[in-house]
Structure 1
Amino acid sequence: MSSEFKRRGALKEAESYPVWLQQVLTETASARALVAGHQVFTGMRDAKLGAREFAAFFVNGWPVVEQFPQYMAMNLLKARFGRSEGEDMARRYLTRNIRVEQNHADYWVDWAGMHDVSKSKLLRAEGPPAAFALSHWCWSSSSSHALASAMAATNYAIEGVTGDWATLVCSKPDYEQSFPEGSRKKAMRWLQLHAHYDDAHPWEALDIVATLLGHEPSKEEIEGVRNSILTSFSYFKASLDCCL
């Protein structure tokens, strides 16, 4: 079998990817679940999360939301046209999605405002250092790590688990119905975009990681991808813990 990877199966099925990458997904699943099912999100789903916790959530999460296009731009700098199929895929993906992420920052500001968290409060970013470790990690990974590991950390791990928790929050009507009817669209726009759109982005990132590294990457490359995913989930959970 050639060490090169070319996906044949469905994009959103783990079995479509190399065995080593399937194993990485299995090994990181429990850490992903700790983020997706965090008390912050179950409380939000049930419309029982307090105002202080909501304010911390918006402030702690803002640097990652605001900087996400920059993470992608730094990774785009690593992808040279025509050097490999994986880099060409990454260029197309990153170029297409950078502007989308900028719009998401606007919707986050709108959502926070519905909970009386102003843009100026988001920009002040006041909180414990652990609350912002995720944004520092994403910046470090995107600026200095190999393209496959960095995209695994951000476009696969962060985007993927965000789809999980946004879907959880939207799985009951309680939170949406906690807003006056006339303001629900504005309040829910960020959540509904992440919960209900055809969530192909994390899978596309996974496809890029697989194409970049192939069927038989080195032990160091596999560990780089695995550790990047686990670190993203660990710092995400730490940020959420700081909200409580």
Structure 2
Amino acid sequence: MAITTDGHSQVPSRTRHHRRVKNELTETPHPVWARSMVDSLRPDWTSVLESKIFTETVSGPFPEDAWRRIVLDFFCVVEAFPKYMGVYLAKTTFGQIPGDHLARDWLIGNIRTEALHAQWYADWAAALGIGFEELVSHRPCPEVGALYDYLWSVCYRGSLAEAFGAVNYAIEGTTGEWTRLILPAFRERYGEDDASALRWLVEHAEYDDAHPREAFELIKLTVRDEAEQAKVESAVRRSLELFRRAFDASYENRAITVNIP
């Protein structure tokens, strides 16, 4: 808390407070269990990045119909992201458990950030010819629905560390990497000047990569014992498995007609 020139305390602004919180989550050396977890999960992580939709987008030709289907199917997960985080925000205790005071402040700040992402995603959908009503009323394929439901489940039933792992580390972490893979193809498709069409992709590819790193620090701060370490690894692996299956299934549904207004 800052002190003014007249000696009174001054509560920092939300922006400065959030910046301080993020500074406290600078990457630290991983303990043995965390290094082991990262190594164990590498095949599952890589599997997401090797989904057919990403390899085809990179190699060409540009799979427009597949992206229309995928953007439609995954809107439910994007729209729910700040809601997921709100569920495990409620698990924090403002300091009764080590690490959860910092976790609370990080979640509050990032929920505000995530609030804009659904609208940016809708702009991306519009550039692909998907109308707003179609986007928000679409029923996803069962595999995307399974991912959506699992994330709700782990947020409600899992620990704070499990939720950080399954949602912020697994989903945001791989999304930062696959958006970097495909962004050049989308820039070529839309041109650099179509900012609204690219904003969601650019934010995740170029500016949002700190979130999964910070989430991993929060896992390390909030995990309680060896049993919970194993549960975190299991939650991350399941999230990655379902993410890959969801992309594959949505890609296979690419031939299903998408209504273009």
Query: TM-score, normalised to structure 2's length?
Result: 0.81
Aligned partner of 2:65 among 31, 36, 52 = 52
Aligned partner of 2:228 among 218, 221, 225 = 221
Does the 8 Å contact 2:73/2:141 carry over to 1? no
Q: Structure 2: how far apart are the matches of 1:96 and 1:45?
A: 34
Q: Structure 2: how far apart are the matches of 1:53 and 1:198?
A: 25
Segments of structure 1 that go 5 or more residues without pairing to the other structure are: 1-9
Does the 8 Å contact 2:176/2:208 carry over to 1? no
Equivalent AA in structure 2 for residue 58 of structure 1: V
Equivalent AA in structure 1 for residue 75 of structure 2: W
1:118-149: CA deviation from partner (whole Å, max 9, x where unpaired) = 22222222343112211111111111211111
Does the 8 Å contact 1:45/1:169 carry over to 2? yes
Q: Structure 2: how far apart are the matches of 1:106 and 1:198?
A: 16
Cross-structure match for 1:4: none
Cross-structure match for 2:222: 212
Equivalent AA in structure 1 for residue 215 of structure 2: A
- Greater relative contact order structure (CA < 8 Å, 6+ sep): 1
Count of aligned positions: 227
TM-aligned CA deviation for residue 62 of structure 1:
0.8
User: Is residue 19 from structure 1 mapped to residue 32 from structure 2 by the alignment?
Assistant: yes
Kindly, what percent of the aligned residue pairs are identical? 31
TM-aligned CA deviation for residue 185 of structure 1:
1.3
1:4-34: CA deviation from partner (whole Å, max 9, x where unpaired) = xxxxxx9447xx1211011111111111111
User: Is residue 203 from structure 1 mapped to residue 210 from structure 2 by the alignment?
Assistant: no
SS at match of 1:82: coil
SS at match of 1:89: helix
Cross-structure match for 1:40: 53
Q: Structure 2: how far apart are the matches of 1:93 and 1:47?
A: 39
Aligned partner of 2:120 among 107, 110, 117 = 107
TM-aligned CA deviation for residue 76 of structure 1:
0.3
Q: Structure 2: how far apart are the matches of 1:136 and 1:119?
A: 23
Query: TM-score, normalised to structure 1's length?
Result: 0.87
Cross-structure match for 1:152: 165
TM-aligned CA deviation for residue 42 of structure 1:
2.5
Q: Structure 1: how far apart are the matches of 2:170 and 2:154?
A: 13
- Aligned-residue RMSD, C-alpha: 1.8
Cross-structure match for 1:176: 187
Q: Structure 2: how far apart are the matches of 1:174 and 1:150?
A: 32
Segments of structure 2 that go 5 or more residues without pairing to the other structure are: 1-24, 253-261
Cross-structure match for 1:7: none
Q: Structure 1: how far apart are the matches of 2:140 and 2:105?
A: 36
SS at match of 2:87: helix
Q: Structure 1: how far apart are the matches of 2:109 and 2:245?
A: 31
Q: Structure 1: how far apart are the matches of 2:153 and 2:126?
A: 29
Q: Structure 2: how far apart are the matches of 1:208 and 1:87?
A: 8
Runs of 4 or more above 6 Å deviation: none
Cross-structure match for 2:87: 74
Of structures 1 and 2, the larger Rg is shown by 2
Q: Structure 1: how far apart are the matches of 2:192 and 2:89?
A: 41
TM-aligned CA deviation for residue 226 of structure 1:
0.6
Q: Structure 2: how far apart are the matches of 1:198 and 1:138?
A: 20
Does the 8 Å contact 2:41/2:237 carry over to 1? yes
Q: Structure 1: how far apart are the matches of 2:82 and 2:34?
A: 26
